[in-house]
Amino acid sequence: MDQTQYFHYEHPFELESGAVLPSLTIAYHTFGEMNSRRDNIVWVCHALTANSDVAEWWQHTVEEGKFLDPARHFTICANFLGSCYGTTGPLSINPETGEPYYDSFPLITVRDMVRCHRLLAEHLGIKRVKLLIGSSIGGYQCCEWIIQQPDFAENLVLIATLSHVTPWAIAFNESQRMAIESDAEFGQHRPDAAMKGLAAARSIALLSYRGQQAYDKTQDDPDARTKLIGLRATTYQRYQGEKLCRRFNVYSYYTLTRAIDSHNIARGREATENELLASIRARTAVIAISTDLLFPKEQICEMARHIPGARYHLIDSDFGHDGFLIEHQKLNTIILDLLDRRD
């Protein structure tokens, strides 16, 4: 069903921080039909500012012959906790005040997001999936989920992601939050507050998503020898910032960047990160993008080395971290090969 569905969990939900949400609403999309054997289920975990409508943001994937082919698979994607696309987050009503939470929404973590996904899976009667797949922050969720629930997935695909957040990524997140905090409207209780701060944060993020090769390839200005201002790269940054402001909320953005800062599958657990990776039983493909600045290929390759039987793939792309959104044909070849393997 390619329209938003909702699961209402009418029980207190304790967060990892100790704060308690009195109830939860989880927004999700499904595509295709679950077969009678219930062995064609694919669960997609989405990235930072995406939503549960996979067909909208991951183009050429929910199509005939692709790895999310609705004639072959039953695909589900849930909007994660803290976002602004229907799942409980800063724009939800705080029952104690009768007003949206805004900046009073409690601290959340990737583990909290995964626990919400698991509540939805239980509600839908899903105990195991054919494929668990995620890219970027979606991959963070997949890493955490397969540790929390080792038998949940037969196949696991981790794209442009890691089992822990790096200081480099945290620094980008903090720089974005600093940009938001510099907007005098941040803290005002209205959904359109601090749009200038959010636009600046998006501009910072884009530098990590694309990198020099992508900018030099797509934003080179043929009139650069005659212009003093208004060069293509400057207008592109402003356009992308304004574009995000039209579809996202600053309090969700701030909440989510804080949530991912603490991602580490070994945090608070007795086993080391490598020991936890070695415990993964799902048949796994790990995919890196050659020019990804945010998740360098060397680190992703090292993670793959610790997952038993994992196949590491490097996609050659000029588009940096955003390659996972653009190189859909290369991804399709890798993922279909994984799903069709008999070993």
Catalytic residue ranges: 136, 292, 321
As separate numbers, helices (DSSP H) first and strands (DSSP E) second, the chain gives 12, 12
**Distance in angstroms (rounded) separating the CA atoms of residues 75 and 128:** 13
User: Is 45:141 a contact under the CB 8 Å cutoff?
Assistant: yes
**Distance in angstroms (rounded) separating the CA atoms of residues 332 and 327:** 9
**Distance in angstroms (rounded) separating the CA atoms of residues 21 and 113:** 13
Burial class (CB within 10 angstroms; exposed 0-12, middle 13-18, buried 19+) of 232: middle
User: Is 20:51 a contact under the CB 8 Å cutoff?
Assistant: no
DSSP 37: T
Directed axis angle between helix 195-210 and helix 167-181, to 10°? 160
Q: How are beta strands 5-9 and 24-31 bridged, if at all?
A: antiparallel
Read off the amino acid at residue 286: V
User: Is 48:325 a contact under the CB 8 Å cutoff?
Assistant: no
In a 13 Å sphere around the CA of 127, the CA atoms on its Cβ side amount to: 2
Read off the amino acid at residue 336: L
Read off the amino acid at residue 29: H
**Distance in angstroms (rounded) separating the CA atoms of residues 32 and 40:** 10
